Amino acid sequence: MSNRKPLIAGNWKMFKTAGEAAETARKLASLVKNEKDVEVMVAPAFTALSSVAEAITNSPIMLGAQNLFWEKEGAFTGEISPSMLVSLGCQYAIIGHSERRQYFGETDETVNKKIGAAINAGLVPVLCIGETNTEREAKKTLPILEMQMKNGLDGLTANALSSLVIAYEPVWAIGTGKAATAQIAQDTHAFIRSWIETNFGNSLAKSIRILYGGSVKPDNVKKLMDQPDIDGALVGGASLDADTFGQLVCF
């Protein structure tokens, strides 16, 4: 592992009421209160952001959103603006998750708009990229990732992207129990970092945190985190239980 501070982020997806999310967050805060070597973030549903923000007050846990819209305000029924998220205490925003792409029509172009809007609002964007099983079997993993990064980061400068986090989440490993081996994940992360260096320079490539996501659990997190280009994890199911997530954080 490098000198980049690892980030272990929990994506709670469409689980937990406001009360349930706050209870989980409070328990997690008690478990990780002395953790200084790892940054911790949780991204509850929009409806639970306020209660979780209150629950993690005076704890090291950061608050993230699972999505946002790129406009500051307007007639966009059902959407949430970056400034609304900031007003609730959010510091991070997950953008381009494969489930958003698969079910809700997210494209590289809308991802690009959202990343720019997040940065302008002072949020740390977590750009999710990853290939499907069909694309992997067709040996298209690297071209797919390259296209997602090229289009998703189009028009943005290295300076603007100084806070960017990239999460490599192979779609075939999300919620399936099939995690990529540590070596497969490392090789892919090394490619991502190399692409960033080629397109945005050595400084950003060295500092950017690249997370692995896809069936991360307490029994495989250490092997993943030991890889030189893996700087943390974006965790789904295993983040829903405070005890399990606490074990992940304290890998």
How far is Cα 63 from Cα 200, in angstroms, rounded to an integer?
28
Q: What are 41-78's pLDDT values in tens digits?
A: 999 999 999 999 999 999 999 999 999 999 999 999 99
Give the model's confidence band at 2: pLDDT under 50 very low, under 70 low, under 90 confident, else very high: low
Tell me what percent of the residues of the chain surpass a pLDDT of 90. 90
Domains of the chain, first to last: 7-249 (3.20.20.70)
Mean pLDDT score of the chain, rounded to an integer?
95
Q: What are 205-243's pLDDT values in tens digits?
A: 999 999 999 889 999 999 999 999 999 999 999 999 999
| pTM for the model | 0.96
Residues annotated as catalytic (active site), given as ranges: 97, 169
Q: Exposed, middle or buried: residue 228 (CB in 10 Å: 0-12, 13-18, 19+)?
A: exposed
How far is Cα 100 from Cα 65, in angstroms, rounded to an integer?
13
| Cβ–Cβ under 8 Å, residues 16 and 25 | no
| pLDDT reported for residue 51 | 98
| Residue 242 bridge partners (DSSP) | none
